[in-house]
Amino acid sequence: MSLVLTAFESNQDLWVHLVNTVLPIYLVNTSLLFIGVLTLAAGLGISTAWIVTYYSFFGKKVIEWALILPLACPAYIIAYVYTDFLEYAGPVQGLIRNIFGFNSAADYYFPEIRSVMGAIFVMGFVLYPYVYILARTGFKNSPRSLYETARLYGRNKFLAVGLPLCRPYIVAGLALVAMEVLSDFGTVEYFSVQTLTLGMFNVWIGMNSISAASQIAIVTFVFIIILLFLERKARSSQKYNDTSKRLNNISPKELSLKKALFAICFCLVPISFGFIVPIIILINNVFMGLKPDTFFAIFPVVLNTIFIGFTATLIIILLAFFSASSAYFSKNRALVIIYNIAATGYALPGTMLAIGVVIFFGFLDNFTGNIVFLGGTIYGVIFALTVRFYAIPYGGVISGYSRIPSNLFDASKSLGYSAILTSYKITLPLIRTSIIAASILTFVDIVKELPMTLILRPFNFETLATYTYQFAHDELMVEASLPAFFIIITGLIPILLLQNQLNSFFHSKN
């Protein structure tokens, strides 16, 4: 509401200027980035999911685990790493010049990493696991009888059965990728790719016009609505029924040695570009810049990050548990609608939410006569993080409730327990795992969050994300490597949890 109201403020001349100059560039670059990243993520995610689902080969268990590792790496950190590695002064181009005797960049062609294509490369190899995980789930859920029918009729199993049945899963995964692309600030800012997200920041900070930034945010919001509509449309489309439950498990086809080596090499491509190579470069940079006082300098930043992460996570978990419990026990449709609307904050770009929070807090400061000053404080950061990441634990608690038999609540009620005691005695122990998993995922997302923290943080307050950004922005990649490495290590925690959940699910299918 703050964004919409601010967008109607009078700045007609500036908006006309934006429409005539940079807005078309923002729209074109955002569209190109969307198409490129979604195409690359779909190609990598679907193909690798099919290989590990339908074929059996040595090393498969390690491969299917390693394929989700790039999720631990924020795209902006991988962008920093590859830029340092592939730019003109980097080791790759330096080696090319030494081998072939080139004297300058004019003597040879090398793709520019700081470009739309470079951003597509980085984001595609980091975000493809969203598609991989959901596509793999879709392939596993497809009845084996249909694959056998396709084989009897001489049809291609992947094109005739696997891909059509898995389409809703794939579209859902691509919707998540699209949301991440639209939310990204660090990568496009570092690569100087003028997108709608970066445009909001530039117009606000560079042109000192929060109303024009709000107008660009509304344009971005239209993009999001279209994505959500397409994703919902895809999920509500095709349905099928298969009564042969005994045939529901796909029997992986054993590959020969030659084909197995090809499958392994193919799957190693996204793993290498999305995780292994960046990690090796990052570790090398960490050791290059390691000094006796390095850890003392970063220690306050780590404490700030932990404080923000734990505080915001605790508030979000309490709110999510309260709202999910209220919606479940009251059976009030209005409450459910309100809480579902509250959970849509995860779909909005961090820059867009940050602008909305600044406007809202500015209104509160003016309304109270600056008696309670909220703008530019730690409260603004925590409030924005709550709005953004509330959806993660809320969805986890709701799914936890769906697995609890309703007769347990009826029994508790018949014994005279109130709703609060029921939550403490029955609900919490039964959904403890869901809450812990949601807490970890929320904490890690907060640690990786860059644009909201960068915009809303108080002066002289750094988190690992902003600390990394400050060094990378000044081209000090060696100094940026240690905090970046800490962020990735933190991101590996939910990946290990997710892998355990996936293993349990897929083993139950087998």
Secondary structure tally for the chain: helices H, strands E: 27, 2
- Over range 285-304, report the average pLDDT: 84
d(CA 461, CA 474): 18
Q: Which two tokens stand for residue 510?
A: 């087998």
b/e for 127-165, b at 16 or more Cβ within 10 A?
A: bbbbbbbbbbbbbbebbbbbbeebeeeeeebbebbbbeb
Q: What is the pLDDT of residues 7-65, one digit of tens each?
A: 877 666 777 888 888 889 988 999 999 899 999 999 999 999 989 988 888 888 889 88
Q: Which amino acid is at 281?
A: I
* Residue 386, domain member (yes or no): yes
* Residue 130, domain member (yes or no): no
* Residue 70, domain member (yes or no): no
* Residue 40, domain member (yes or no): no
Q: Is 4's pLDDT higher than 70?
A: yes
Please give the tally of structural domains in the chain: 1
d(CA 480, CA 282): 9
Q: Is 506's pLDDT higher than 70?
A: no
* Residue 446, domain member (yes or no): yes
Domain of 356 in residue numbering reads as: 289-473
* Residue 416, domain member (yes or no): yes
Q: What is the pLDDT of residues 167-215, one digit of tens each?
A: 878 887 888 888 888 888 889 989 989 998 888 888 887 777 888 888 8
Q: What is the pLDDT of residues 122-150, one digit of tens each?
A: 999 999 998 998 888 888 877 767 777 77
- Share the mean pLDDT of the chain: 82
CATH number for the domain that contains residue 295: 1.10.3720.10
Q: What is the pLDDT of residues 343-386, one digit of tens each?
A: 888 778 888 888 888 888 888 878 777 666 676 788 889 999 99
User: What confidence tier does 235 reach under pLDDT thresholds 50, 70, 90?
Assistant: low
* Residue 480, domain member (yes or no): no
* Residue 147, domain member (yes or no): no
Q: What is the pLDDT of residues 389-444, one digit of tens each?
A: 988 888 777 777 766 777 776 777 777 777 677 777 777 777 777 787 788 878 88
| Residue whose entry in the numeric block shows the structure tokens 């003597």 | 107
